[in-house]
Structure 1
Amino acid sequence: MKTKVLNTVVAGVLVAAGAQAQATVVSTNSVGGIFDGSSGTRTLSVTTHGTIQDLNLTIDFAKCDNNGADGPLLDANNRCIGRGNAFDSEIVFSLTGPNGQPVSLVQQGTFSNGNTPGLGRIQLTFDDEAVTTAGGKMRAGSYAPVQPLSVFDGLDMFGTWTLFVQDTRRGDPLQYFGASLDITIGTAAEVPEPGTVAIVGLGLIGMGALRRRRQV
């Protein structure tokens, strides 16, 4: 019985010592802009290397009706000033990795129209693990993108990531505020603490002693 318990303890220590840690790397872009029947790109730079285990992207923006008028789109509470429908179907988002692989997050027609007025400034998080897929009536929250971000899993995160932003028709501008790229990576196996190494060593010595006693 003692040998069995000791085996279990040592095995647990060895598993803990060899466990792989995780870390999250965040890259942001806050170069704002207004797109009205136009498109543009924003870059998010990752300056360290690491193998991607999971990747999520959050976009901070507003889609408002302004009937072609100049001036601000939002009031002091970040709500749309224009009271007409915001045509959310005009929104297009995509992300291209450093390897040149594009992933469509929102295609034209992904969202339906008819928010009266527009929602104002909101944040959408694109996450493969989200319960709901992007589409229908737009609301702030987490959504699975039109195409999976998992195509980046296993790749090196280092380099320039490019976010494509488009509003396909004039009259209901899309105002971009920023984006955040959240990447979970695996780090090197943790080095056991000296005390952990000592415990393992004592355990192995104890196992050897018990075996010798049984042989006598």
Structure 2
Amino acid sequence: MKLKKALQAVALCCGLAGVGSANASVMLFDNAGDISSILYSTTYQGATLSATVQFTLTSLTATQAIFGVQISNNSSGPGNNRLTSFGIDIVSPTLMSAVANGGWGASRNVNFPSFQSVDLCLWDGNNCSGGGNQGVGEGLIESFTLTLGTKGNFLTDGLEFTSPYSAKFQDVGSGGKSLEFAGCIVGTAGCGGSQVPEPASLALVGLGLLGAGLARRRKA
């Protein structure tokens, strides 16, 4: 009986009683101070492209969300490798307004060439499609404020960003061409940053601790 109760405690502790898996394609913001980042990383024409976009939710009401956005471009190799725009495929609830400052622009329901229509595009240049000589160059960091508005309710279910998370780099590699590709959420499996332990791993740790505890009791 004691063993059964102990196993139930381990199950509750480690999430075995109704395990739910996190969706690696969704970023959820429901409290001021929430932080989530997108990593864009690939190689092209001799260049190593690597940039991180961090979203920090600074204020949240039913109809308005304000983010601090920081972009770090750690790319290297031939070319200028400028990050000029990035997009969020789906934003929920539906956006009614999007305003960026600090030299960046924001557009809703626009075409991101390789990804078709996106709910939100943030750009530094002529528009979401790029152009001009703008963007965040190698080794540089830029920050801006993003304000999103909705006729829905951000407080009911939070604010969700859903993949794919598109990005456009220009003057890339030895050919100086542009490249569009998708990023991933930092901290999820297969992406950069700290990995979140799988439920099965947590269960093994819990069972190991349980076994060690029972062994000590037998010796006593």
TM-score (norm 1): 0.37
Bigger RCO (CA 8 Å, 6+ sep): 1
TM-score (norm 2): 0.36
Structure number with bigger Rg? 1
- Between Structure 1 and Structure 2, which shows a larger proportion of strand residues? 2
